[in-house]
Structure 1
């Protein structure tokens, strides 16, 4: 029984560590990265979102750094009322994820 408890504790700690690895960036950091050409402009990101989901309403937008990779995380509501979560590589604009949000 102690072995199972110890394994569960290790799994929990590993999951906690993984969850902490991504961090949200401030507006000042995002502006600096944009000026350096390290991330695409917000206007370009919104064009990519609109191409994929026309007429959707933007609910939330975050710029995160995870293991030195910048990711735009976008949450939107489609015309049908479905909430979707999209992730884009903030440097290239490549779509990384597009799925229905729970």
Structure 2
């Protein structure tokens, strides 16, 4: 009986965590390519033009396409010309910068 209660509690916790807002789902390259072909997201090169305007001469370090609360975003890390690493989130549909902060 005690084992069933613990199992039930763990199941509720796991389901609650999986459905909690703010949890991002990484999309793989096949999904990204399909979304680009379907016109759901902009080509990555165009999105990076927004970053280039905000941080001219910056270097791309890492990029991931994620779905956060139903919104497709690119999480991008760049190295600025002043040597600062910044983490940005870009709306994958239009390139708008949603988040811009110095990375720790």
Query: Equivalent of 2:36, from 34, 37, 44?
Result: 34
SS at match of 2:39: coil
Mind listing any 5+ residue stretches in structure 1 that lack a counterpart? 1-12
What is the CA–CA distance in structure 2 between the aligned matches of 1:54 and 1:20, rounded to whole Å? Answer: 30
Structure 1: 4+ residue segments shifted above 4 A: none
Aligned length: 89
Q: Is the 8 A contact 2:86 2:103 kept in 1?
A: yes
Mind listing any 5+ residue stretches in structure 2 that lack a counterpart? 1-12
Query: Equivalent of 2:55, from 53, 56, 62?
Result: 53
What is the CA–CA distance in structure 2 between the aligned matches of 1:33 and 1:96, rounded to whole Å? Answer: 20
Give the superposed CA RMSD.
2.1
Q: Which has the larger radius of gyration?
A: 2
Report the TM-score, using the length of structure 2 for normalisation: 0.77
Report the TM-score, using the length of structure 1 for normalisation: 0.79
What is the CA–CA distance in structure 2 between the aligned matches of 1:84 and 1:98, rounded to whole Å? Answer: 7
SS at match of 2:36: helix
Q: Which residue of 2 aligns with 1:78?
A: 80
SS at match of 1:84: strand
What is the CA–CA distance in structure 1 between the aligned matches of 2:82 and 2:23, rounded to whole Å? Answer: 34
Q: Report the alpha carbon displacement of residue 20 of structure 1 after superposing the two structures with TM.
A: 7.6
